[in-house]
A and B are shown apart, each in its own frame.
Chain A
Amino acid sequence: MSAEFGGVPLYAYLAISAVLFALGALGVLIRRNAIIIFMSIELMLNAANLAFVAFARQYDQLDGQLFVFFVMTVAAAEVAVGLALIVAIFRTKHGIDVDQMSSLKG
């Protein structure tokens, strides 16, 4: 590998991971569309995964990468159930605005 392919410092990866996580949290707080809130949660999961892989690289351990693999499968299951819930809510409420979902019954 030639010399111009140097490395990237760890803090750069952690910083981008923190920024993506904060943007995801902001999305959960400011949006009212349940699907976009859900996508912001995926963004936060992804930011955490990036930090995992960066630390796995730092310590030269593969456990971090395997944990990311498990996070991905859990995220897939979560999306399947979550979107099914959103479809069910849309059927009863005829909308997916989270401000509408204020009643416990009906």
Chain B
Amino acid sequence: MNLTLILFYVLAAAAVLTAGGLLVSRNAVYAALYLVLNFACVAVFYLLLGAPFIALAQVTVYAGAIMVLFLFVIMLLGAEKLPKGDVLPWQRPLAIVLAAVLLAEAGFLLFQKLQTTVILPAPGTELNATEALRTLSLQLFNKYLLPFEVTSILLLVAMVGAIVLTKKVKGEPA
């Protein structure tokens, strides 16, 4: 057992537990906080995979910006808990069976059809980490320049859309 592998298993357990916590928590605020923890675990996976830029983007964009937006909306609406309603009796078992089938299919694909027993190199084994970051940014602004610019338009559209959707129509009561 090497140290990276131990770290990986601890993080994997934490990621699965927090994802489970997201599913079972009754309070939406707790669910959001579980998801923040899950994103943090995945950020450390990215570090282990030698992707420091993506790891930091994950922490700032996902665990930071997106989850703050979620928490803000949950608290704004006061929708932490739903009133108990009539639940379809067969919905939950059926959903669990379907998710298990999905997992089994994914497992079959991963372990039977793909060659996935490769050992990935440990983090920090690159000769030059700054050089890797440099290559990443050069690719982003050369090969992927058009998608990058389209992204700015997408964000603008999302911003306008969010404002238009939540704007109160004149004369409409609260």
Contact = CB atoms under 8 A, between A and B. Distances in A.
Q: Which of B83, B99, B121, B154 has the most CB of A within 10 A?
A: B99
A1 B122 CA distance: 9
Interface residues of A, number: 73
A106 interface: no
Contacts of B99: 22-23, 25-26, 29
Interface residues of B, number: 87
Nearest to A35: B28
Interface string B43-55: 0011011110110
B166 A84 contact: yes
B130 to A, nearest CB: 14
Given A8-B120, A87-B76, A68 B54 contact: yes
Contacts, number: 245
12 contacts: A9-B116, A19-B16, A26-B96, A27-B23, A29-B98, A35-B28, A39-B35, A46-B39, A53-B46, A54-B49, A81-B161, A95-B83
Interface of B: 2-5, 8, 12, 15-16, 19-20, 22-23, 28, 31-32, 35, 38-39, 42, 45-46, 48-51, 53-54, 57-58, 61-62, 65-66, 69-70, 73-74, 76-77, 79, 82-83, 85, 87, 91-92, 94-96, 98-100, 102-103, 106-107, 110-111, 114, 116-125, 132, 135-136, 139-140, 144, 147, 151, 154-155, 157-159, 161-163, 165-166
Interface of A: 1, 3-16, 18-27, 29-33, 35-36, 38-40, 42-43, 46, 49-50, 53-54, 56-58, 62-63, 65-66, 68-70, 72-81, 83-88, 90, 95-97, 99
